DNA sequence: GACTGGATACCGACTGGTTGGTACGTTTTT
DNA sequence: AAAAACGTACCAACCAGTCGGTATCCAGTC
């Protein structure tokens, strides 16, 4: 995770990986047939650990589905801080490099990102139904959350120091505002 | 451009570059001292060619600044189609890989992305002033446009075939809706 | 208009180090 | 005793970058 997030997938060599993990090359290739397989496993591990992390987060307790959705965004914003390597996404980083060269990695990263999106769909569906939002779907909005998150990481990488985290947080603020308006405005309209 | 967009920066070798360009390695290293210098030059070329392209686009003619901003988004949406390599961003792709290993490339990509954002700031400032939007700045909104664009490219890379372009276009649709609500709702509020 | 000298453009073989991956032996677990 | 885990030495291919040489251009000179 550490090496891929700071150097990218292809610039990270198997030798570096082994040195960082305190493992010999023989052991590495005993467990993974190729470097590509490690990439797939990394995406799957990332997927499993993040989905577990978000499932245990506190924002699920809100009664109002809109509060749950905004709570998720607030939670994501609170996670952003320090150097980019500390909050960026392994799947997003890998798929950018490997989408054409490795179908297996592409699919694993797709599963990670879309799986993360899927965890929001139920709350978004409730929010849409309750506030009578039209013209979009919970699936599309869930993807938009991921879009803004991934995009904020790209822009964060153009900065150095604290500016990275500040920029990423600022951008999630716009996502929050969009959802706030989308569900808030629809509510007012609904009450007329 | 072609090789970086489809294979990424570090997975693209100087030999491949030379073969693709029909140039020998001697010629390459005559013009660029290092591969990194080519990366910087690529970002600068990308920056110059895209800014020229957008400066000549038709959306500037609208009288209403909000129409100019939405026109920009529509223009970007119209550019999306075919394989991801055809519409993705060279600067966004490179900075993801090289932000830690090469400060020069990071800065060149920052200049490209932020320069593209800057081109929208005047219209956004006019729109904010005219509609009385509060709580954000033209700079922040301009960055948000780039965030959604870059994020949509990342998500597009998780898909294959036509689904890539469809997903990217769908996501720019949310950006359009956000701006539409932000400036539209503020207008109604303003007229009360 | 022919000649010259120096600068620039370009070529392609070469180098030292690195790459992902293998072969084969040894240790540890079951 | 068998199988899984792990270590070491090694390999061919490839990597960015170098180097000595050649071709081309152009300003100045006669």
Secondary structure of B59-124 in the HEC alphabet? HHHCCCHHHHHHHHHHHHHHHCCCCHHHCCCHHHHHHHHHCCCCHHHHHHHHHHHHHHHHHHHHHH
Q: Which CATH number does the domain A2-191 belong to among 1.20.1370.20, 1.10.357.10, 1.10.10.1100, 3.30.465.10?
A: 1.10.357.10
On chain A, the residues whose CB falls within 8 A of the CB of B7 are 97, 100-101
pLDDT above 70 as % of chain B: 96
Contact B155, A110 (CB under 8 A): no
* Interatomic CA distance for residues A16 and B149, integer angstroms: 33
Backbone Cα Rg of chain A: 19
Q: Worst-scoring range by mean pLDDT, A147-156, B104-113, B176-185? A: B176-185
On chain A, the residues whose CB falls within 8 A of the CB of B84 are 99
| CATH superfamily entry for domain B35-191 | Tetracycline Repressor, domain 2 (1.10.357.10)
pLDDT at B5 over 80: yes
Per the CB < 8 Å rule, is B147 touching A152? yes
Q: How high is the pLDDT of residue A185? A: 65
Residue appearing with tokens 């052991």: A27
Q: How many Cα atoms occupy the beta-carbon half-sphere of B191 within 13 Å?
A: 6
pLDDT at B86 over 80: yes
Q: Identify the band that residue B189 occupies on the pLDDT scale cut at 50, 70 and 90.
A: low
Over range A68-89, report the average pLDDT. 97
pLDDT at A108 over 60: yes
Q: Identify the band that residue A187 occupies on the pLDDT scale cut at 50, 70 and 90.
A: low
Q: How high is the pLDDT of residue A49? A: 94
pLDDT at B188 over 90: no
Q: How high is the pLDDT of residue B113? A: 98
Tens of pLDDT, residue by residue over B126-144, are 999 999 999 999 999 999 9
CB within 7 A of nucleic chain C: A 12-16, 25-26, 29, 33-36; B 23-27, 29-31
Mean pLDDT of chain A: 95
Q: Identify the band that residue A186 occupies on the pLDDT scale cut at 50, 70 and 90.
A: low
pLDDT above 90 as % of chain A: 95
Q: How high is the pLDDT of residue B192? A: 43
- Measured distance between the N- and C-terminal CA atoms of chain A, rounded to whole angstroms: 51
């Amino acid at each position: 995770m550490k090496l891929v997030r700071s150097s990218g997938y292809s610039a990270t060599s198997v030798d570096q990986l082994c040195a960082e993990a305190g493992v010999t090359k023989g052991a590495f290739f005993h467990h993974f047939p190729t470097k590509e397989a490690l990439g797939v496993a990394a995406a799957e591990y990332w997927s499993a650990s993040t989905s577990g992390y978000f499932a245990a987060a506190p924002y699920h307790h809100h009664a109002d589905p809109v509060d749950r959705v905004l709570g998720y965004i607030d939670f994501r914003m609170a996670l952003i801080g320090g150097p980019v390597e500390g909050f960026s996404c392994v799947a997003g980083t890998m798929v950018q490099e490997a989408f054409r060269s490795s179908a297996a990695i592409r699919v694993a990263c797709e599963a990670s990102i879309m799986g993360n999106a899927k965890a929001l769909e139920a709350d978004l569906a409730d929010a849409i139904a309750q506030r009578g939002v039209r013209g979009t779907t919970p699936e599309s909005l869930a993807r938009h959350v991921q879009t803004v998150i991934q995009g904020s990481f790209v822009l964060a990488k153009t900065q150095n120091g604290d500016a990275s985290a500040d920029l990423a947080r600022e951008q999630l603020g716009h996502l929050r505002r969009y959802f706030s308006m989308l569900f808030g405005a629809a509510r007012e309209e609904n009450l007329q």
